[in-house]
Amino acid sequence: MSQKILITGSEGLVGKILVPELKKDGHELILLDKKSENPIDLLKDDILNYFNGVETVIHLAVNGFWINHEQAQENIDMTENVLEGAKNSDVDRIVYTSSINVYDYSTLYLDGKKINEYTPLSPHAKSNWGEKNESVVHYSKSKIICEALVQHYNDKYGISAINLRLGAVGPNNEPYKNEPDDYAIWLSREDLIQIMKRAINFKGFESVICTSNNSEKFVDLSHLEKVLGYRPKSNSEFFR
């Protein structure tokens, strides 16, 4: 059944993958992005009217990866503004695109450990990257805090919410090839689309790790399959 869906950060990589697919399915889309033809700033503009009649919000907008403390705080403030808009407009659900960076996954990978639904959250802080003014640590911390905000709005206001801890979506639909764990955390566009299509009908609250069905089995996908009824199909080994 078609919905009215608001998408923040629609001009980013995930947004550009997702928007055409949701349009094909007949959904009415409200697209908010600073880089769109009619730019909307989630921190400065009054965004409440955009939520009128919206059933699902997909929150993609983010300052990503190598960022400083101030940019991380902007991620938190943007998320809170979006959650407030959803609450005040009686939106049914929030789909929050979190990240596998809520885990220190590089360390876990090098230590031969696996990630599952019980793995504790810890900012991604690969030891040889060090602490810099612009660091993935700030990005990771902001994602962890935003996930907690999303859960709070479910707890307090009853908005269905799901944190999707996305693996690495490459610009060419291939794994990155810079780090030893790149093949293990890859998420194909095909799997991303199927996960998102199921998430927009989710009820309740959950956080799920989302990668493709990669041969290394670094990520346990059983919780994703249980929550959304989808088993990823792509495998990064195809690109070895």
Rounded distance between C-alpha atoms, residue 69 and residue 180, angstroms: 27
pTM: 0.96
- Residue 67, CA distances (Å) to 6, 49, 156 in order: 26, 30, 31
All residue ranges of the chain with pLDDT < 70 are 126-133
- Percent of the chain whose pLDDT exceeds 90: 90
The dihedral built from the CA positions of residue 151, 153, 155 and 158, taken in this order, carries a sign that is: negative
- Percent of the chain whose pLDDT exceeds 70: 97
Other CB atoms within 10 Å distance of the CB of residue 48: 12
Q: In this predicted structure, what is the pLDDT of residue 126?
A: 67
Q: In this predicted structure, what is the pLDDT of residue 130?
A: 54
The total of structural domains in the chain comes to: 1
For residue 159, give its domain range.
Answer: 4-239
Q: For residue 81, what is the domain's CATH number?
A: 3.40.50.720
Q: In this predicted structure, what is the pLDDT of residue 216?
A: 95
Q: In this predicted structure, what is the pLDDT of residue 131?
A: 55
pLDDT tens for each residue of 174-205 = 999 989 999 999 999 999 999 999 999 999 99
Q: In this predicted structure, what is the pLDDT of residue 129?
A: 55
**Please, where are the H alpha helices in the chain?**
13-24, 69-88, 105-110, 136-157, 189-199, 222-228
Q: In this predicted structure, what is the pLDDT of residue 119?
A: 98
